[in-house]
Amino acid sequence: MSRSINLAVIPGDGIGQEVVAEGLKVLSAVLPQDVKLETKEYDFGARRYHATGETLTDADLDALKRHDAILLGAIGDPSVPSGVLERGFLLKLRFAFDHHVNLRPSKLLPGVATPLAGQPEIDFVVVREGTEGPYTGNGGTIRKGTEHEIATEVSVNTAYGVERVVRDAFARAQARPRKKLTLVHKNNVLTFAGHLWTNVFNKVAEEYPEVTTDYIHVDAATIYLVTDPARFDVIVTDNLFGDIITDLAAAVSGGIGVAASGNINPGGEFPSMFEPVHGSAPDIAGQGKADPSATVLSVALLLRHLGYDAEADRIDAAVAADLTERSSLGARSTARIGDALAARVAG
């Protein structure tokens, strides 16, 4: 394991700035003395776009490529037309750096508020495909703006792309105590992609006899997520279904204030990127109201990805302890929560 981390930091827009500061605070506090942490900040997001019209250039990609990992706050602002920063920055980066494993753990900690009655057990991880499906930007529009307009979106699914993410999910399921993997798709309607996903899933399953598998349609998955979330251990799914169910998963397991994610290139050809699931939340930006926990948990995913498992565990434990005690702590600012977490991981 390298004893230095060369980190690209992208605070981004809105509360991104605030939560990333706390993520870095906790990262510095948790790292052993002998690990050299270097960070370089990048100004992507709405300001850069308004100033230069750029979202992410080839030169930017070259610069980012030299880092060990990327920590992102949030990108997006109402002043920028919908889609510009999403397609021009967030998705461009995921595709350019082949972030095909989009990892989103959900764990409901004791004492943490959930909209669900009866405080169910929730502890699963979604492995969302990150580089295919309807996210490829394939499709188009003809007769735009007329009453004869036709717009298409093409979901692209390859055996290559599906198999690698399915393998990643099986390996993760194998490494967890329950060893259970659920494929979520809509193979009764999207039969072309559905057959590919199902066949690849069943084929790889043969290599993991210890992993229990099942299949559920994405619509039914949303039902189980609110009526019986304990049934899930690891879920593997397509890019769009993963987008939808991970927001719901975050909502039921403590809210997007605590939902972390990793955009991972498992082979390490490109740096992986870690970010909270939440967005830039312009309505509360600059007020110290944002919960930095999701970013701090994303830092833990980042550390685990780089091989710093003990440090990642310490962050997870610190956030868990903080959340569990939160109801008795009263309102705290973004920075105070960061301070508390930094103190816990250092202690």
Ligand X SMILES: CC(C)[C@H](C(=O)O)[C@@H](O)C(=O)O
Active-site residue list: 135, 186, 219, 243, 247
Q: Are the beta carbons of 31 and 311 closer than 8 angstroms?
A: yes
Nearest to 299 by CA among 17, 25, 27, 99: 27
List residues forming the annotated binding site: 94, 104, 128, 219, 243, 247, 279-291
Q: Are the beta carbons of 284 and 16 closer than 8 angstroms?
A: no
> What gap in Å lies between CA 212 and CA 214, rounded to an integer?
7
Residue 141: contacted member of ligand X, a second copy, none (CB under 5 to 8 Å, by partner type): a second copy
Q: Are the beta carbons of 143 and 288 closer than 8 angstroms?
A: no
List residues forming the annotated binding site for NAD(+): 279-291
> What gap in Å lies between CA 271 and CA 262, rounded to an integer?
11
Comparison of 5 and 93: residue with beta carbon closer to ligand X: 93
Binding segment (CB under 6 A) for ligand X, from list 84-92, 139-147, 293-301, 336-344: 84-92
Smallest separation, CB 123 to a second copy (Å) = 18
Smallest separation, CB 247 to a second copy (Å) = 4
Comparison of 159 and 189: residue with beta carbon closer to ligand X: 189
Tell me the residue nearest to ligand X as measured from the CB: 86
Residue 149: contacted member of ligand X, a second copy, none (CB under 5 to 8 Å, by partner type): a second copy
Q: Are the beta carbons of 69 and 5 closer than 8 angstroms?
A: yes
List residues forming the annotated binding site for Mg(2+): 219, 243, 247
Residue 302's H or E segment, with its range, is: helix 293-305
Comparison of 146 and 188: residue with beta carbon closer to ligand X: 188
Here's the x/- map for ligand X, 223-252, by CB under 6 A: it reads as --------------------x---------
Using the structure block, give the residue that is written with the tokens 């939340």.
281
Q: What is the CA angle 344-177-275, rounded to 5?
A: 45
Q: At residue 251, what is the residue type? A: A
3-state SS class at 11 = strand
184 binds ligand X (CB under 6 A): no
Q: What is the CA angle 228-234-235, rounded to 5?
A: 80
Q: Which of 7, 26, 56, 90 binds ligand X (CB under 6 A)?
A: 90
Contact positions vs a second copy (CB under 8 A): 82-83, 86-87, 91, 114-118, 134-135, 137-141, 143-160, 163, 186-196, 198-199, 218-220, 222-223, 225-227, 240, 243-248, 250-252, 255-256
The footprint of ligand X (CB under 6 A) covers: 86, 90-91, 188-189, 219, 243
